[in-house]
Amino acid sequence: MRAPRAVLVAVGLGITASVAAPGQSAGPDKRVWTAFSIGYGGASMGCDSCSGVGHIAGTTASVQVGRYLSNSFRVNATINGWVHSNGNATEGMGSATINFGIVTHGMTEFSIPNGIFLDVGIGLSAYRSGIVRGLLDTIPSLSGTGWGVSVGVGYDIPLSRRLTLSPTARYARGFVGDLHRAADGSPYTTGWNQNWFDVSLGVTFSP
């Protein structure tokens, strides 16, 4: 399954975020935020004609933007990426999702600390490789785009009125479907699926 490029571009332009607003002081004057994070995690993938590949370590990064609907509820978008290189091949996975989240703020009746957040997202998922693992001489590059979901949990630590430090754990699952040779667009395999889990540290800015 190949998602139309126009959809991918539209989602990408609207995006950027799993975001963290200041957990202890979010108010009417702090509704919009932007966040950047970097992390480390493991990924695995499989397809209809191949056996699953065990977890591979890689670097992750995200760029984020969002808006609070209230002190405890938010809608946001995120672009996440995972990349791995072993010198002979480079593989990358990415997702662009719209997320809906809840943040603990002022929930004193439940004795829950301020700043804990949970985000669930749905959107696009993509895979790219410079060279396919184990087929270095025959398949120089593959690509595919499909649908994906993600879930993240973390904690906002206010550094100042405008800055927040946000350690986050995130799981992303992609249902890419068909992979194609990047050079000519010819089909390579079907049923491609991928997932990764990472732990990251982000900085959030509230203008």
What is the per-residue pLDDT across 6-22, written as a single tens digit (0 to 9) for each?
A: 433 333 433 333 333 33
What would the DSSP string read from start to end of 118-144? Answer: EEEEEEEEEEEESS-TT-TTT---EEE
124-163: b or e for each residue (b if 16 or more CB lie within 10 Å)?
bbbbbbebbbeeeeebebbbbbbbbbbbbebbbbbeeeee
Least confident residue range of 26-30, 62-66, 129-133, 140-144: 26-30
Mean per-residue pLDDT of the chain: 80
- Tens-digit pLDDT profile for residues 42-54: 999 888 887 766 7
* Lowest mean pLDDT segment, chosen from 70-84, 121-135, 138-152: 121-135
pLDDT > 90? residue 194: yes
- pLDDT at residue 13 in the model: 36
Mean pLDDT of 115-128: 93
Confidence of residue 86 (pLDDT cuts 50, 70, 90): confident
Residue 133, token pair as written in the block: 């693992």
Is residue 23 within 8 A of residue 68, CB to CB? The reply is: no
User: Which candidate, 99, 32, 18, places its Cα nearest to that of 60?
Assistant: 18
- 131 or 126, higher pLDDT: 126
pLDDT score at 29:
45
The per-residue pLDDT for 2 is 43
Domain assignments of the chain as residue spans, ordered by start: 5-205
Class (C level, CATH) for 5-205 = mainly beta
pLDDT for residue 134? 52
pLDDT given for residue 113 in this prediction? 72
pLDDT at 151: 95
The confidence score (pLDDT) of residue 106 equals 54
Compute the Cα dihedral for 72, 77, 82, 83 and give only its sign. negative
Tell me what pLDDT residue 21 has.
38
154, 21 Cβ separation under 8 angstroms: no
Contact 15, 94 (CB under 8 A): no
Given this model, what pLDDT does residue 80 score? Answer: 93
Is residue 78 very low, low, confident or very high in pLDDT (cuts 50, 70, 90)?
A: very high
Check pLDDT > 70 for residue 144. Answer: yes
